[in-house]
Chain A
């Protein structure tokens, strides 16, 4: 690898190109190796060879390179053209390892799963990607067999619309909440209800969140937020409410159980409250939003869904990025959307934040600083939900105009357009293994999309 770099250097020297001193640096600021000389027209591939050689790993890792926050796409020279560079100083090139595997964009609808007799409101793949569950306005929760793409189980039990569903981190249980405030637990392998119905909320359930796997491997506790302004922690083995966290004065719109034992709840009363999970004490109240907080995302969301963790947090609606969990002040305020923001998500590698809004656009922001990156336009009506692919390179969005669109995040443009639904698309999810995208909507059918 060093030989290849040397060869490149010789070649460039022969062509008498300007040379620069560069130093590789990782995202945390750690320096890699010592500064060395490269020609200005060096390409990212060659940089990758050199960097991999310096990292001295068995398998070469794909990398992306950034100079002063601008990505090196074609050659170093091109990127520096727009910036003032002092050729005497050592230039810092920040390298970011990308996901080794590559998820391919989904392009076609492989099946349309009918069965629900009312609009499909929520869709979720299990953390292992083996099962698919959907909740609907006809009060049933259905499990679907992914290998044959046919219905597996239909679970009756709710008496009103099933508003939210959530898989336990080990993939063995599914919790579903309905508009009457009732929560039921299901076993995906048999389709039967597990335990007793958890009743206690007086109004509808807005969100469900399980306790992370690393804290408790038996997946015992689940937290639920409701329009009645309270958050309840339930013990699923016994079937009763362990703790009730009150404090919000209006509906709690979003709930997240963080990896460090803290529960984050966002509400229409414009605050986000942070609670200690094991004893229910309110730690912090984060204020600053100007209106209802519609949605919230943790940078560890994807990791908690599938595996290990690292904490930080962001909350939205005229977005505020907050630093580590100790801070009370917002880190960054991300404005730009012209209508309400319906969903915000960190990418699985937590480098990019995507926000879907009713102003028909999706905006991308830097995951650490909150800096605006790009706007993805293409939808002709409100964008309802988005989902990231596991390698953080693709984003799928479902909208009120009945289409789904797959976006290439690196190129910041549309990768594939997925029409097919007859009416508004209410829920989308990308399976953690990257193979499939599932979407459900007002036309009562669930569609599975593959490559």
Chain B
């Protein structure tokens, strides 16, 4: 019996019919087959359709589906032998973040192969001397330099190159590229200045200069058991601008 009341919602007639007469005899079969066809129909439509949002949604669904399939596959297969991680340490070193500093450094690239050469007028400034300030044979170094421990100036009348005390440095901040740690190490000497051998003999330190530093603090040891106390480092900043020497340790 259909309800004669027009006030009832219009969408309940299907349910009502089902309650009264039951399902169609082939209903379940048809439904099953329709659901089976659904994937194919969707795919057919998607191939022809132009609809950005629809495709976006479909793509997301596909990804999810692939993930679940993979997970099911994994469940069925046996787990293969996982490789044990590298870096085995004894029990007393587990749980510790800061490592012991003396590590054998591996190979790494030379940090700065090419550096801009410094012209002589940039590094050496002509100083006028003499009663009438006419003579200009003296030069003053305008960059940071390193003089050794036993350095004494030549008699002022005869010294050609002046290295001001304010620009003399003894320590450099050296970074170990593997440990990513920086140490303040005393400089032992200037090995090579890329601009000119004259600057090396004067001890001028500019960007790209290779210096020798005292690494006793790092506690490195050779295979033969000898303690390494000097290593080369290359300067990475312009010390005259920053007021400090930053360098990177070389292998």
Which of B90, B91, B93, B223 is within 8 Å of A419, CB to CB? B223
Number of residue pairs spanning A and B whose beta carbons lie under 8 angstroms apart: 93
The interface residues of chain A lying within 8 Å CB-to-CB of B216 are 380
Q: Is the CB of A382 within 8 A of B84?
A: no
A400: interface (CB < 8 Å): yes
Q: Is the CB of B91 within 8 A of A163?
A: yes
Q: State the CA gap A381–B223 with chains docked (Å).
A: 15
Q: Size of chain A's interface in residues, with CB distance under 8 A? A: 44
Instruction: Kindly supply a per-residue 1/0 record for chain A positions 158-170, scoring 1 wherever the CB is within 8 Å of any chain B CB and 0 otherwise.
Output: 0111011000000
A122: interface (CB < 8 Å): yes
- Considering only residues 74-131 of chain B, those with a C-beta below 8 Å from chain A are 84, 86-95, 100-104
B140: interface (CB < 8 Å): no
Instruction: Kindly supply a per-residue 1/0 record for chain A positions 357-388, scoring 1 wherever the CB is within 8 Å of any chain B CB and 0 otherwise.
Output: 01010000000000000000000111010000
Which of A139, A360, A420 is within 8 Å of B225, CB to CB? A420
Whether A401 contacts B102 in the complex (CB less than 8 A), given A381-B219, A419-B225, comes out as: yes
Q: Is the CB of B104 within 8 A of A423?
A: yes
Q: Is the CB of B88 within 8 A of A119?
A: yes
Q: Is the CB of A164 within 8 A of B86?
A: no
Q: State the CA gap A426–B93 with chains docked (Å).
A: 10
Q: State the CA gap A159–B216 with chains docked (Å).
A: 40
A206: interface (CB < 8 Å): yes
B105 CB to closest chain A CB (Å) equals 11
B156: interface (CB < 8 Å): no
In this complex, the interface size class of chain B, counting residues with CB under 8 Å from chain A, is 20 to 34
Interface core residue of B91, B102, B216, B227 (most chain A CB under 10 Å): B91
Q: State the CA gap A384–B91 with chains docked (Å).
A: 11
The interface residues of chain A lying within 8 Å CB-to-CB of B222 are 419
Whether A137 contacts B88 in the complex (CB less than 8 A), given A401-B102, A419-B224, A423-B104, comes out as: yes
B168 CB to closest chain A CB (Å) equals 30
A424: interface (CB < 8 Å): yes
The interface residues of chain A lying within 8 Å CB-to-CB of B86 are 118, 137
Could you show 11 A-B contacts with beta carbons less than 8 Å apart? A137-B84, A161-B88, A164-B91, A179-B94, A253-B92, A380-B102, A380-B220, A380-B227, A400-B219, A403-B225, A422-B223
- The chain B residues found within 8 Å of chain A, CB to CB, are 84, 86-95, 100-104, 216, 219-227
